[in-house]
Amino acid sequence: MKILFITDPHIRGNNPVSRIDNYSESLRNKHNEIGQIIKNDSIDVVIHGGDIFHSPDVSKSLISEYIKIFKSWEVPIYAIAGSHDVIGYNEKTISRTALGVLIAADAVKLLGSIPTEIWSNIFVVGINHSYRLDENPKNYFVKKCDKDCILIETVHGMVVDKPFFDEYTLIKDIKTEADLFLSGHYHPGWKPQKVNNTLFINPGSLGRVENIERVFPPSVCILNIDHRFPEKKNIDYKIVPLKCVVPSKDVFKTVTKLGTETSEKILEFMKTLSQKTGDLEKHDAKSLVLKIAKEEKVDDKIIEEALIIIDEVMFND
Ligand SMILES: [Mn+2]
């Protein structure tokens, strides 16, 4: 059976400040091309790594449009909640968000910690984003109930192949019984790799909200699993770049791509800036709250409430 994996499209109605093209049109083209791939390649199931929308509160017209697009794919779409999908990094808020509407409209199905059987002997576990996720690699451990089945783990966490900054989890530190580990959140992506019998894949973000170095241009990952003999764990994959994608020089204001070190410096500076001004995207304000709260050892309940309040007062499209 064939699975198509995508992650982090960050669908939004307005343009990111860094883009000179029409972002929402570019996202529409990408999703329509994916619909074609699903039909041409006879894809059975789609798995989505989260950050479907850039904000939990995008416009109703945008949500309606994507309900239609996702339904036109005519295959089940299993998703997890990313950091941008929920309010205050809190998965309990899903029903109030744009993702919640997609679920209620039956356009996507939410994965959870209880394995979902998406095909005979093929199970998927989903780990939504939470700000606690990367505190301990053990948070990525999932257990297999039947050794002969194929277990897929889908996560929205800062899983990386080499040290990053802030909180992250290295692939090599993850112990899991999953045969396949599909990750979103880290937009540059990394080269697929097999570690301790688990195949790790992150093709990178479908939407480009920032001009960063990437491993692949915006792509989908097509997985072919021999479901007749699951015990053989025969999983083929290919990363397929989308044809409608134009070079980054034609979509970004600045030609120079940010290297990791520069990105880190900018993000640190943004955090300092957010102490002085309210003119920042809510995501930066939330990172700042988390940073200070951790330094000050603020109670979890208070952190949760503070993150929700920031989202409530800074909602935008
Ligand atoms: Mn993202």
Per-residue pLDDT of the chain (317 residues; tens, 9 = 90+): 999 999 999 999 998 888 899 999 999 999 999 999 999 999 999 999 999 999 999 999 999 999 999 999 999 999 999 999 999 888 889 999 999 999 999 999 999 999 999 999 999 999 999 989 999 999 999 999 888 899 999 999 999 999 887 789 999 999 999 999 999 999 999 999 999 899 999 999 999 988 888 999 999 999 999 878 777 778 999 999 999 999 988 998 876 666 666 666 656 665 665 555 544 555 677 887 888 888 878 788 778 777 777 776 665 44
85: CA distance to ligand 1 center in Å? 9
161: CA distance to ligand 1 center in Å? 17
In a domain, 253, yes or no: no
In a domain, 251, yes or no: no
Listed residues 181, 213, 241: the one ending a domain: 241
pLDDT of residue 286: 80
Listed residues 212, 241, 270: the one ending a domain: 241
187: CA distance to ligand 1 center in Å? 6
In a domain, 246, yes or no: no
82: CA distance to ligand 1 center in Å? 7
pLDDT of residue 128: 96
Q: CA 149 from chain center: how many Å?
A: 25
CA–CA distances in Å: residue 126 to residues 31, 79, 242, 284, 300: 22, 8, 25, 26, 23
Residue 37 sits in which domain range? Answer: 2-241
65: CA distance to ligand 1 center in Å? 21
Q: What value, to the nearest 5°, has the Cα angle with vertex 303 and ends 302 and 307?
A: 115
In a domain, 214, yes or no: yes
CA dist 212 and 214 (Å) reads 6
Question: 3-state DSSP: the chain helix, strand, coil percent, rounded to 5?
Answer: 35, 20, 45
Any idea what the CATH number is for the domain that residue 235 is in? Answer: 3.60.21.10
Q: Are residues 88 and 36 in the same domain?
A: yes
pLDDT of residue 316: 47
In a domain, 252, yes or no: no
Residue 173's CB is within 10 A of a number of other CB atoms, namely 13
Helix axes 282-295, 260-276, angle to 10 degrees: 80
CA dist 203 and 199 (Å) reads 13
Q: Are residues 207 and 306 in the same domain?
A: no
209: CA distance to ligand 1 center in Å? 9
Provide the greatest CA pair distance for the chain: 59
Q: Are residues 220 and 150 in the same domain?
A: yes
**What's the DSSP call for residue 245?**
P
**In the chain, count of helices (H) and strands (E)?**
6, 14
Amino acid at 37: I
37: CA distance to ligand 1 center in Å? 23
- DSSP helix/strand/coil, 67: helix
7: CA distance to ligand 1 center in Å? 8
Q: What value, to the nearest 5°, has the Cα angle with vertex 128 and ends 124 and 129?
A: 145
In a domain, 25, yes or no: yes
pLDDT of residue 155: 98
Q: What value, to the nearest 5°, has the Cα angle with vertex 120 and ends 117 and 126?
A: 25
Q: Which of 50, 38, 45 is nearest to 7 (CA)?
A: 50
pLDDT of residue 208: 94
75 exposure class (CB count in 10 Å sphere: 0-12, 13-18, 19+): middle
> What values do phi and psi take at 38, rounded to 5?
-55, -40
Q: Are residues 194 and 280 in the same domain?
A: no
Q: Are residues 271 and 236 in the same domain?
A: no
Where residue 42 falls (left for φ over 0; alpha for ψ -120 to 50; beta otherwise) is: left
Listed residues 210, 241, 272: the one ending a domain: 241
Q: Are residues 202 and 59 in the same domain?
A: yes
Q: Are residues 283 and 236 in the same domain?
A: no
Q: Are residues 12 and 82 in the same domain?
A: yes
229: CA distance to ligand 1 center in Å? 35
For the chain, the domain total comes to 2
Q: Are residues 128 and 211 in the same domain?
A: yes
301: CA distance to ligand 1 center in Å? 25
Q: Are residues 156 and 21 in the same domain?
A: yes
Q: Are residues 271 and 301 in the same domain?
A: yes
In a domain, 84, yes or no: yes
168: CA distance to ligand 1 center in Å? 14
In a domain, 305, yes or no: yes
Q: Are residues 221 and 267 in the same domain?
A: no
pTM: 0.86
